[in-house]
C-alpha cells in the first residue's frame, strides 16, 4: 500500500470519528478536554490527511508516467 493510500485511509477513518465525537458528546468532559472540541480537531486532521493522501497519489501517478 502506497503512502498516499495510507493517508487517504487514515483520514477516511479519522474524519467520521471526529464527526461522531462532535455530534454525540455535547455534555461530556474528560479532565481538561471537551470532547466536542476534540471532535472538531479530529475532523480537521482527517480532512488534512485525506487532502495530503490525494495529493501524494496524484503526484505519484504523474511521476510514474
State the residue range of the domain holding 20. Answer: 3-59
**Residue 64 falls inside a structural domain:** no
Q: How many domains does the chain have?
A: 1
Average pLDDT over residues 1-15: 91
pLDDT band at 60 (very low <50, low <70, confident <90, very high): confident
Average pLDDT over residues 50-61: 90
Longest Cα–Cα distance of the chain, Å, equals 52
**Residue 65 falls inside a structural domain:** no
Chain-centre distance of CA 45, in angstroms? 4
Q: Per-residue pLDDT tens for 30-45?
A: 888 889 999 999 999 9
Q: What is the rounded CA–CA span in Å between residue 23 and residue 42?
A: 13
Average pLDDT over residues 25-29: 83
- Quick one: pLDDT at residue 28? 78
Amino acid at each position: 500500500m502506497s503512502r498516499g493510500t495510507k493517508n487517504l485511509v487514515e483520514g477516511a477513518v479519522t474524519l467520521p470519528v471526529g464527526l461522531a465525537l462532535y455530534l454525540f458528546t455535547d455534555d461530556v468532559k474528560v479532565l481538561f478536554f471537551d470532547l466536542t472540541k476534540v471532535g472538531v480537531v479530529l475532523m480537521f486532521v482527517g480532512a488534512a490527511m485525506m487532502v495530503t493522501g490525494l495529493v501524494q497519489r496524484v503526484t505519484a501517478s504523474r511521476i510514474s508516467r
